[in-house]
C-alpha cells in the first residue's frame, strides 16, 4: 500500500471567448465591471487544489498619461484575486491589462458547483479598449481563455 496518494488533475473548465468583448470601447474610472459572465465549474471537495489560469490579450490606449487598468477573478461572487494590470505610459501606444496574468492556486472549496468571473477596473483615467476575439484580430494578441483544473487525490 502506498504511503501517499498521487494527485490527479481534472480539467473542470476551459472557457474561450468567441465573441468581440471590446471593440473601440471606452472604459472609464469607476467600479469593477464584468468582462465575462460567471462560468461554472465543479470541485470534489475541500482537500483539492484548484488552479485557475487566465490567458489573454487586450489592447488599451489612454487619453491621458498614467491611466491604469486592472483585472481580477471573482470566485463565487466574492474572494477576488488580482490577475493582471497595466499602466499606460503614453497616449500613443497600446498596452495590455493581461500583463503578468497566470495561474492562481486556491484551496478550501466545498464539494459542488462554483463560479469564476473576470472583471476589470480602470483605476485612473479613461481608456479605449480592444478585445476582438471573434474578428480575427488574434494576430494582435486579442483573445481570452480561462481554464480551471482541480488537483485531487479522490
Domain boundaries, the chain: 8-152
Q: Summarize pLDDT for 75-97 with one digit per residue, the tens.
A: 999 888 888 888 888 888 888 89
Q: The whole model's pTM is what?
A: 0.88
Task: Say if residues 82 and 99 touch (Cβ distance below 8 Å).
Answer: no
Q: Whole-angstrom Cα distance, residue 56 to residue 103? A: 12
- As a whole number of angstroms, the distance between CA 55 and CA 147 comes to 8
- Of the candidates 15, 19, 8, 16, the one whose C-alpha atom is nearest the C-alpha of residue 132 is 19
Predicted local distance difference test score (pLDDT) of residue 80 = 87
The answer to whether residues 95 and 89 touch, using CB atoms and an 8 Å cutoff, is: yes
Which segment of 23-27, 50-54, 61-65 scores lowest on mean pLDDT? 61-65
Contacts of 61 (CB under 8 A, 6+ apart): 88, 91, 92, 93, 94, 95, 127, 128
CATH code of the domain occupying 8-152: 2.60.120.760
- Residues 118 and 4: beta-carbon distance below 8 Å: no
pLDDT of 88-125, one tens digit each? 888 888 888 988 788 999 999 999 999 999 999 998 88
Distance, in Å, from the CA atom of 51 to the CA atom of 151, rounded to the nearest integer, reads: 8
Name the grid cell of 79: 474572494
pLDDT digits (tens, 9 = 90+) for 9-43: 999 999 999 999 999 999 988 889 999 999 999 99
Amino acid at each position: 500500500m502506498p504511503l501517499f496518494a498521487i494527485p490527479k488533475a481534472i480539467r473542470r473548465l476551459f472557457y474561450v471567448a468567441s465573441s468581440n468583448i471590446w471593440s473601440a470601447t471606452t472604459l472609464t474610472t469607476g467600479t469593477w465591471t464584468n468582462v465575462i459572465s460567471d462560468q461554472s465549474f465543479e470541485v470534489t471537495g475541500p482537500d483539492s487544489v484548484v488552479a485557475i489560469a487566465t490567458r489573454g490579450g487586450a489592447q488599451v490606449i489612454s487619453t491621458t498619461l498614467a491611466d491604469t487598468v486592472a483585472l481580477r477573478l471573482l470566485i463565487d461572487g466574492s474572494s477576488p484575486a488580482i490577475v493582471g494590470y497595466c499602466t499606460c505610459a503614453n497616449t500613443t501606444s497600446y498596452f495590455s491589462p493581461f500583463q503578468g496574468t497566470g495561474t492562481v492556486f486556491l484551496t478550501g472549496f466545498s464539494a459542488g458547483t462554483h463560479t469564476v468571473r473576470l472583471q476589470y477596473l480602470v483605476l485612473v483615467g479613461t481608456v479605449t479598449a480592444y478585445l476582438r476575439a471573434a474578428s480575427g484580430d488574434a494576430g494582435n494578441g486579442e483573445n481570452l481563455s480561462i481554464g480551471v483544473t482541480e488537483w485531487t487525490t479522490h
